[in-house]
Structure 1
């Protein structure tokens, strides 16, 4: 069960993303990842993210490989490829592209949980179908 297309989110490396040398700090990449996922879920799919009334999305695993540094002011494309791994888990494969060159690749795996019990629960079929039908 996986989506067929990629979602592209345009981002700019800001001053608060960088260290004293103007190089993006590793934690900023997760801001880029999360912002792109949020835009996909809310704007493209109409899903309340990361919190709805009946379930929350939580990150259960993440990984990033930094091939080239990002610098203050860089315009980047964060490219997402969502895949439904199960009725409870979604994986977002992610690439960051700057001027046509891949600078970063990684993934984020999210599970849906019941906010009252903090146990994994199945996502509603309509949400799964929206992600699968991208």
Structure 2
């Protein structure tokens, strides 16, 4: 099951280069802020550290930049979380300005036990909250 969640953000001075265009690393700030807001506000899950036995860590990211975003641009970030397996969540993301897609990408995260730094299964109640919000 997939669904979308929308987050609004603004391109800040620290996101940009001398020409006022967002640096590529800033897009991952936009992605991460959106994931964090989704997990906390919609799924009701502390993020990225759920508890002492469960953390979410990034294992893969990807972005395609279709047009630049600039200082002061008001961004709409759309996120569609997907449960890939009992250990893996993928967040598909789109960044838009006034309805026009500027960037598309995804972030894949694995659940780990931070004490041993090994992947673990995400508890069923947490999987349901991520996928059925």
TM-score (norm 2): 0.97
Q: Distance in 2 between matches of 1:38 and 1:22?
A: 26
- Structure 1, gaps ≥5 residues long: none
Task: Give deviations 1:60-92, integer Å, cap 9, x for gaps.
Answer: 000000000000000011100000000100000
Question: What are the within-5 Å matches in structure 2 for residues 51-130 of structure 1?
Answer: 51-53=49-51, 54-130=53-129
Q: Distance in 1 between matches of 2:9 and 2:60?
A: 23
Q: Distance in 1 between matches of 2:101 and 2:55?
A: 31
Q: Distance in 1 between matches of 2:130 and 2:50?
A: 16
Moved over 6 A (4+): none
- Structure 2, gaps ≥5 residues long: none
Task: Give deviations 1:103-129, integer Å, cap 9, x for gaps.
Answer: 000000000000011100001110001
Tell me the equivalent position of 1:9.
7
Task: Give deviations 1:42-64, integer Å, cap 9, x for gaps.
Answer: 01111010002221100000000
| More displaced 10-residue stretch of structure 1: 101-110 or 46-55 | 46-55
- The answer to whether the 8 Å contact 2:44/2:129 transfers is no
TM-score (norm 1): 0.96
Q: Distance in 1 between matches of 2:107 and 2:43?
A: 18
Task: Give deviations 1:23-54, integer Å, cap 9, x for gaps.
Answer: 00000000000000000000111101000222
Q: Distance in 2 between matches of 1:43 and 1:8?
A: 11
How big is the shift at 1:131? 1.5
Could you say what the CA RMSD is over the residues aligned between the two structures, in angstroms? 0.7
How many residues are treated as equivalent by the alignment? 132
How big is the shift at 1:8? 0.4
